[in-house]
Structure 1
Amino acid sequence: MAIDRFTLVQQAAPRTPAAWPHQVGVLPPRALSFQHRAEVDQLRTAVDSGGTAVLSQVLTGAGGVGKTQMAADYARTAWDSGGVDVLVWITASSRSAITAGCAQAGVEVLAADPSNAEQAARGFLAWLEPKAGQKPCRWLVVLDDVADPADMRGWWPPASSHGRVLVTTRRREAALTGAGRRLVTVGLFTPQDAAAYFTAVLAAHDRHEPTDHIDSLAADLGYLPLALAQAAAYIIDADLTCASYRELLADQITKLGDLLPEPGALPDDQTATVAATWSLAIERANQIRPAGLARPMLQLVALLDPNGIPASVLTGQAALARLAEHRTPTGTGATHQPAPVSGEDAMLALQALHRLSLIDHTPEAPHQAVRVHQLIQRATRDTLTPDQHDRLALTAADALTAADALSAAWPEIERDTALAQTLRANTTALTRTAEDALYRPAPHGVLFRTGRSLGEAGQVTAATAHFHRLAETTGHRLDPDHPDTLTARHNFAYWRGMAGDAAGALAAFQELLPDRLRVQGPGHHDTLTARSNLAYWRFIGGSGAGAVAAFQELFADQLRLLGPGHHDTLTARSNLAYRRGIGGSRTGAVWAFEELLADQLRVLGPDHPDTLSTRHNLAYWRGEAGDVAGAVAAFQELLADWLRVLGPDHPRTLSARYDLAWCRGMAGDVAGAVAAFQELLADQLRVQGPDPPDTLSARHNLALWRIKLAVDESTDS
């Protein structure tokens, strides 16, 4: 007959109560180069706070942040200082383990009968209750690594003015709080703590590394204490440098588990590698309702930006379709089909991951609703087969661009610049981990959308670099004549010009147009667009007469091929009207834009960006034609509409502010122009940075109007 482990251990246990002070259970050994952290002081302040009953403290945080070490440090300090009479350490990874730990305490402290574990455990909890006339006992009970709040039901030590309770767990459910219990969140090392820890561990083995190398490696490991400990052990055992280890870590093909010690070589009596630390938590999260969704959700999160993923990306149709493939089916036989997944189901899956401290889910911050540690991402990606990884990458790309048309993760008009920046960061993260998949069978639209977003946000230099790389990569992976390669070249040429290199843009479009004609033909939309851009940059480059002739010829072809109401035909009319003004006929430009505006209002509507751009041009040429007051009034009305349609940080909104400031100065309000340019420049520096042409132009005009204001003030005096 099998003998219960608890009974076997207790057969030799003494049947007389232990004398105080007494310790039950074994504290984990102190980690090499243990770092004193701010959370330790927070814990001591919380646990030692006064009152008639000291509250239970629950240390919560992701696996590997050092919760157990902090709890052991607190318990060891309390024991060594004589602050407790009875110290009980229980490894609380299951309900049976909690029962056994409390029973062990009952046997040792109360001489309870070891043959009845449940009774011994209940007797110990009852003994912890303060009683009149009983000799006070200062006790501390530590329940380490509670895996499920339900396991603690009925086993919470009682509140006592003489007792303290400390719990460590990855869980964050409400069941762990309330009833006099208080959460203490344990985070990552600070960069300073991480560097100090790593330096001390290496020094203990007569190893020394440059400070900047240690700092960089700590950042690569995300300042996770367990990862730092195991990486240090691997570096020492393999006789590597921090720099060489970073190179291995940067290799996306190498699995994280291959860069950590084998189980027998783990430091500080650790039992699991950081790569395996989260596996049980993921399994538990996947069992939480709606069952089967947490794991595929974490796999999707693992390919995106660890610093913040918008909620719309993870709850759109592309993400929901992915989750539906993995949902636990219901029914049997022919009805054995997974149920559809709703946006609410996706949110519940995120909450399940949050409850197990695998992610941080903050619904009230929708643009960065989900944050995740980079090593959790790495360990999750390592579980995917190459085919799973590639298909998941395409799902993530679809989720970013909302290619299904039922959701709008990435809006066509980027009113919210913070959201756009977050989406670009997520695309960068996705490209870093799954770039190959995004080019099969052709470049995914998210690659083009990201570059356009950079340019429309005013980051024209970054947009130029993005499309230059995209054009080279697409030409190499596909074919120089592939339509996507030509489109990437087109975008590179356009943003090159917008970044200030008009000659480079002209040369690029001169090379591109013959390829468009040869591959796509003269009547193709892309060919006509290339002709339009070639004419534009020819005009900017100083070839005015030739550019006007090219625009006129293009307009005739667009009118014939596309019709008068087509967007491109209307754009061609706008270009001709603008060239008319540049050519000297300012009044003619006003008339042309007035006619164009009437047609755009009818065809596109009043809030279409092209309609608003025509109003912008009309206001500008009114001012140039001498009606400065009318231009000021028009720009003021237009600015209100730009703000409503595009938001305050969009380049077109900033451009309207620029022209309004200029017109104010020309109308005689020099002080108003100076104030407007000062405010505009501050916003351009914040949104676009110091180098784009628009920022430099605003700085230049601010200087001019300041000089004008100084001259006027000196003349008046």
Structure 2
Amino acid sequence: MVTVHRNGLTLLGKDVARSDPPRWKVLLTVPSIIFIHGLRGHPQNTWGRGSDEGRDTERDPPPKPTSRLKTFFKRDKSRLRSDRSSPGPSSPQPRPFWPHEFMPHDIPEAMVWTYGYNSQVISGLFTPNNENSVFQHGRDLAGRFEREINNEAIRKSQVCRSRTKLIVFLGTPHRGSRAAGWGVTAAKVARLAYSPNIKLVEALDVNSLALDTIHEEFINIVHDSQLQIHSFQEGRPMSTIPGHVEKIVDDFSSRLGLPQAFEKVETLDADHKQMVKCTGREDDRYRTIRTVIQHFIHRPPVEASSAARITNTAASRSLEARAEIRRDDILSKISTTLFTNNGYNRVALVGLGGIGKSQIAIQFAFWVEENKPEVSVFWLSALSKASFEQSCREIMTQCDINQSSATDDATTVVQQYLSSKASGKWVLILDNVDDAQILGQPIHYFLPKSRDGLMLFTTRSQEIASDLALSEVIRIPEMSPVEAKGFLEKSLQKKDLIEDETATGALLQALTYLPLAITQAAAYINKNSASIAQYLDLLSQADENMVELLSSEFRDETRHPESANAVVASWLVSFNQISETDPIATRLLLFLAWIEPKAIPKSIFPEESEIELYRAIGILLGYGFLSQRKEEGIYDMHSLVHLVTRTWNSSRGGNQYTLREAMSQMIMVFPFINWETREVWRQYLPHALRALQNAATLDDEGSRLGDLAGKSLYQDKRGREAVEVLERVLQFRNEALAEDDLDRLSSQHVLACAYKDDGQIKEAIHLLEKVVFIKSNLLAEDSLNRLTSQLALAIAYRNNGQVKEAISLLEKVVSIRSNLAEDDPDRLASQHELACAYKDNGQVKEAITLLEKVVSIRSNLAEDHPDRLASQHTLACAYSDDGHMKEAVGLLEKVVSSQLNLAEDHPSRLASQHALACAYSDNGQIKEAVSLLEEVVSIESGLLSDDDPDRLVSQHALACAYSDNGQIKEAVSLLEKVVSIESGLLAVGHPDRLVSQHALARAYGDDGRIEDAIKLLEQVVSIRQITLPEGHPKRLASEGELKSLHQAYHQ
């Protein structure tokens, strides 16, 4: 029989009798199984009954004199022996030294050892009738443990750790009992060898902190070294101890409490002492222990660890389907924040529903799996209380966590587990934390606390994100076009569909690069074998189509089963959350649904207290429905959210926020329309136009808002758009109001002015004559309202070439307004228009005199005021007509410089540049004229229609400049185009048409086409001789040009 050393290692097996010591190089290449006994145990007797043959002085020290304590236990043991000798299942059985006799034969590929050590560390601890000794020895024991912990050679032996792969525990007390801590567990163990001391439990509890420290240190070693643990528990109580019917080491104490990935727990059908006493090879206890060791030896530990860790990663979240969204910049931010030593252990991802927060979290989970193998990943869904609790139950199952008591719920158990050292290092991902009260009270009450734990949250709410992660909040931006295109391509079954770049770009833009919307679109295209262009066409046909498509549910393996896959359904959850918690934010959201989603000024919002309004704005910003621009007080609303909000509003029945309410709000804040308030009404105008667009027909509120919008468009020189809006307003007012109603007449007046600016001169005159007639019978002669319409009619006459009628009416208006103050804006406007008419009528001197007076008075206005610039512009043109070219050029250059703050395509700026170019031409600066006019014509070609009067005038001027510059062919080509368009647009005798024909005739003459020139110019002269007086400059110019052509022809 082998001689077993009392201390140190002893090699077991059939060949151990040889004298040669084992070769250590061999030991490093084969598995070793080492049997280690417990306290007061023996390296041989613990595992079997032992024999005299095996006894030696090294193993068994001589017996000491028997004390009363030993006598007590001797009687006890004698009784136990007699009990065991009685018939029954507990009859004595052979106790072979099975680690030596069986194990080496059954696992020949391993070397088997037993290890002995001084296990008498508790001797003297339990001296009877000695209260102090138990306290003192307890302190000594704790002190010894602490000294061991601080011994670096033992605590951090890298060789020992690296070579240890599996530890099998047999009834080992790892932790104090659930009910009373370490003291109760130690007392039960002590009763096997000593009489109970009444102070035992209390004494050992005093030093439980030291034992807890040892336990935690071992847990850290298990995690760091990736050890595998197999803990066997007692299947029966120690019934042989009088009055004791419990297990010596209960189920709670006999397990480390590690995740299933690290620790397997199994029960042996034996009590504490018998679980290591195997009777033969067929003994169930032996077979079970042997199978565990064999299975481990034949299964590489690295694979087990990896597989276990993946199980942890998927603990309560199915991550088999990886998200295709790669947001590496965001992944880098998350990993850098959580895994660098900066003290932050929480990060929150916040963003609009469907923007890809959960998918980024999934990618991060896989990143941890691949880059941090020592870290477990747990996933909790906070979509609802049920999903949260279900996630916790799944974690308990995967990690083999038992409830502490029947009253503990899964949420509490998982919180406690993750707060303990047993859980090791982990990352907890809480997905969809959109309701902070989902569990009935603030969710942070349920979060674990651990220095080894990191947390990642996803939420739509900025407020929740800030509460959970403080400053470590990452707002998820929309994908870039390149990212979105790549994501769409991965989502499509037919990859070649992406080759239609135009349709692809348009679709992604329409879907605002939103991942969920892109996934939804791809699902529809895949299911219906559609092309991207076909889906885009469906999406673009009507808002209802888009809502229907965005409402379609589809299968997405990367999202939680309870999570809404359709974009619309996803956002409706957020809308409902807002409506339940904040009525002001709800009202603001619904108001925004009726207006333009971009560039929304805060001043247009429904009126609330400043604090309440800022809170409401903050909520919408937090959910990602609004975003703030760099400009103070300007916001944008996500365009798809804008669309879906209206759908949600329509589903609210009696709680709808109506379009009429939105219009009333805008009417209330809209300013008076003039140049001074232009910054405000220009901000409001797009929103008024969107509200009007949403109205199928106008009512009283709609007509009032339309009137404000139409006047704004007219003031902004957007005549065509103004006509469209004002015609709708007038349609309603013509039906709803009397003919002489002032609101109706006001709409007719403004529409006529818009017609004039849009080149519809005849329509303007027809409508204004009707308005002036009604007002002359309704209002006093000096009524501001009446005079304003007369002034507008005079301007229309002048634009239509009816200069005499214009002068007659204007002189009357100016005369009546002469009783107003000299600087009255209405008086100055009348004088300005009369001067323009004088100029058009060839009364240049009178025009200059009147304009110089007006310009002088208006010099008190801002330099860029449109009225001041208009008068300077007209005066400069009059100077040009009068031959004062230097004055004309100088004044026009000043006007053009002042208008540089206007948009490049603003009508006033283009008109001034046109006038300056003509002045350059008249002043002999032909190259400057050509350059400036080419710029004007180029801008207008992309802005105005072919038959727009302003565009035709500019082309005419450029053609004349070409002619003066010797570019005759270019001049003829352009003038022929102008004359052709004007012949179908203007009356035969229209002044503008005659001017263009005159210029073309002159260009024909310069080009040597004398007959064509004479024929065209004869038409011009014949008309001007009828419409203009004998001394009119234009009549004289045409007559002189024709005479010269005849002379050239006859020569």
TM-score by length of 1: 0.70
Matches within 5 A, 1:129-528: 140-147=427-434, 151-152=443-444, 155=447, 166-172=456-462, 175=466, 181=472, 183=474, 185=476, 187=478, 250=543, 260=551, 269-270=561-562, 277-278=570-571, 281-282=574-575, 293-314=584-605, 319-320=606-607, 323=608, 341-342=609-610, 345-364=612-631, 366-368=633-635, 371=638, 373-382=641-650, 383=652, 385=654, 388-398=657-667, 401-402=670-671, 412-413=675-676, 423-434=684-695, 439-440=699-700, 443-444=703-704, 446-476=705-735, 478=737, 482-517=741-776, 524-528=783-787
Quote the residue 1:26 is aligned against: 316
What's the offset of the Cα at 1:590? 0.9
Moved more, 79-88 or 392-401: 79-88
Q: Distance in 1 between matches of 2:747 and 2:422?
A: 72
Partner of 2:643, secondary structure, is helix
Q: Quickly say closer, same or farther: Cα 1:663–1:151, change in 2 above 3 A.
A: farther
> Secondary structure of the equivalent of 1:672?
helix
Map residues 472-621 of structure 1 onto 2, 5 A cutoff.
472-476=731-735, 478=737, 482-517=741-776, 524-559=783-818, 567-598=825-856, 609-621=866-878
Please give the alpha-carbon distance, in whole angstroms, between the structure 2 residues aligned to 1:80 and 1:370.
Answer: 39
Rate the CA distance shift 1:181–1:574 in 2: closer, same or farther, 3 A.
Answer: closer
* Secondary structure of 1:571's aligned partner: helix
Q: Which amino acid is 1:443 matched to?
A: S
Aligned to 2:1024: none
Per the TM alignment, residue 303 of structure 1 is displaced from its structure 2 partner at its CA by 1.8
> Does the Cα contact within 8 Å between 1:658 and 1:677 map onto a contact in 2?
yes
2:243 aligned residue: none
Which amino acid in structure 1 is aligned with residue 719 of structure 2?
Answer: V
Match of 2:1003 in 1: none
Tell me, in whole angstroms, the C-alpha distance in 2 between the residues paired with 1:312 and 1:76: 47
Aligned 8 A contact 2:600 2:636 in 1? yes
Secondary structure of the 1:428 match is: helix
Question: Is the Cα–Cα contact under 8 Å of residues 481 and 508 in structure 2 kept in the other structure?
Answer: no
Match of 1:63, as an amino acid?
G
Q: Do the aligned residues in 2 keep the contact of 1:283 with 1:295 (CA within 8 Å)?
A: no
> Is the Cα contact below 8 Å between 2:429 and 2:456 reproduced in 1?
yes
| Counterpart Cα distance in 1 of 2:413 and 2:560 | 35
- What are the within-5 Å matches in structure 2 for residues 594-673 of structure 1? 594-598=852-856, 609-639=866-896, 641=898, 650-673=906-929
1:200 offset after TM fit, Å? 7.6
Give the match for residue 715 of structure 1.
none
Q: What is the aligned residue count? A: 643
Tell me, in whole angstroms, the C-alpha distance in 1 between the residues paired with 2:490 and 2:503: 11
Residue 697 of structure 1: how far off its partner (Å):
4.0
CA contact (8 A) 2:259 2:422 kept: no
Moved more, 392-401 or 75-84: 75-84
Give the conservation status (yes or no) of the 8 Å contact 1:195–1:215. no
Q: Shift of the alpha carbon at 1:170? A: 0.8
Match of 2:259, SS?
coil
Worse-matched range after superposition: 625-634 or 384-393: 384-393
CA deviation string 1:539-589 (max 9, x = no partner)? 3323332332233334445557x7876543432222222222222221221
Counterpart selection for 1:65 from 355, 358, 382: 355
In the TM superposition, residue 145 of structure 1 has moved relative to its aligned partner by 0.9
Q: Unmatched 5+ residue regions in structure 2?
A: 1-251, 262-307, 437-441, 495-499, 969-1051
| Displacement after TM superposition at 1:415 (Å) | 6.3
Query: What is the Cα deviation at residue 214 of structure 1?
Result: 11
Q: Cα–Cα, structure 1 residues 285 and 688, in superposed 2: closer, same or farther, change >3 Å?
A: farther
How big is the alpha-carbon RMSD for the aligned residues of Structure 1 and Structure 2? 5.5
2:462–2:619 contact (8 Å) kept in structure 1? no
Of 415, 435, 441, the match for 1:121 = 415
1:28-43 counterparts in 2 under 5 A?
A: 36-39=324-327, 41-43=328-330
Q: How far apart are 1:426 and its partner, in Å?
A: 1.6
Higher relative contact order (CA 8 A, sep 6+): 1
The separation in 2 between residues aligned to 1:705 and 1:177, in whole angstroms, is: 71
Deviations 1:90-110 (A, max 9, x none): 013589987996797478537
Contact 1:94 1:151 in 2 (8 A): no
Give me the identity figure in percent.
20
Please tell me whether the aligned partners of residues 873 and 895 of structure 2 are also in contact (alpha carbons under 8 angstroms): yes
Q: Deviations over 1:255-274 (max 9, x none)?
A: 9799957999x998455575
Q: So what's the TM-score if we normalise by structure 2? A: 0.50
Query: Does the residue aligned with 1:452 lie in a helix, a strand or coil?
Result: helix
- Unpaired segments ≥5 residues, structure 1: 1-9, 131-136, 204-209, 324-340, 404-409, 713-717
- Distance apart, 1:431 and its partner CA: 1.7
Does the 8 A contact of 2:415 with 2:448 survive in 1?
no
Shift of 1:648: 7.5
Q: Which amino acid aligns with 1:580?
A: Y
How far apart, CA to CA, are the structure 2 residues paired with 1:297 and 1:214? 34
- Contact 2:349/2:456, CA 8 A, preserved across alignment: yes
Structure 1 pair 585/597, CA: closer, same or farther in 2 (3 Å)? same
Q: Distance in 2 between matches of 1:706 and 1:35?
A: 64
1:396 shift after superposition: 3.6
Q: What's the offset of the Cα at 1:216? A: 8.8
Aligned-residue offset at 1:151 = 3.6
**Mapped partners of 2:747, 2:654: distance in 1:** 31
Over residues 434-473 of structure 1, what are the superposed CA-to-partner deviations in whole Å (9 max), with x where a residue is unaligned?
A: 465x6325722x4233333334444333333333343334
Q: Do the aligned residues in 1 keep the contact of 2:350 with 2:473 (CA within 8 Å)?
A: no
